[in-house]
Amino acid sequence: MAGLLGEERRALLLAILHRDDVIRLESAADELGVSAMTVRRDLADLAAEGAVRRVRGGAVAAITPRPFEERRATRGAQKAVLARKAAELVPRSGAVAMDASSTTGVLLAHLAEVDDLLVVSNSVENAATARQIAGVRSILVGGEREDRTGSYVGPFATRAVAAATYARFFTSAAAIDLRGSSEVTAEEAAMKSAFAAAADETVLLIDSSKLGDRALASALDWSQIDLLVTDLDVDDTRLDPYRPLVQIV
Banded model confidence at residue 46, pLDDT cuts 50, 70, 90: confident
How many Cβ atoms sit within 10 Å of the Cβ of residue 233?
9
Amino acid at 174: A
Q: How many domains does the chain have?
A: 2
Averaged pLDDT score across all residues of the chain: 89
| Residue 167: domain span | 68-248
Within this chain, do residues 56 and 122 fall inside the same structural domain, yes or no?
no
What pLDDT score does 159 carry? 95
CA 237 to chain centre: 21
Within this chain, do residues 95 and 121 fall inside the same structural domain, yes or no?
yes
What pLDDT score does 217 carry? 92
Residue 50 exposed, middle or buried by CB count within 10 Å (0-12, 13-18, 19+): exposed
List the alpha helices (DSSP H) in the chain: 6-20, 25-32, 36-48, 68-72, 76-87, 102-109, 124-131, 155-162, 186-198
What global pTM score does this model have? 0.78
Within this chain, do residues 55 and 93 fall inside the same structural domain, yes or no?
no
Query: Regarding predicted confidence, which is higher, 225 or 110?
Result: 225
Banded model confidence at residue 14, pLDDT cuts 50, 70, 90: confident
1 within a domain of the structure (yes/no): no
Task: Report which secondary-structure segment, H or E, holds 136.
Answer: strand 136-140
What pLDDT score does 97 carry? 98
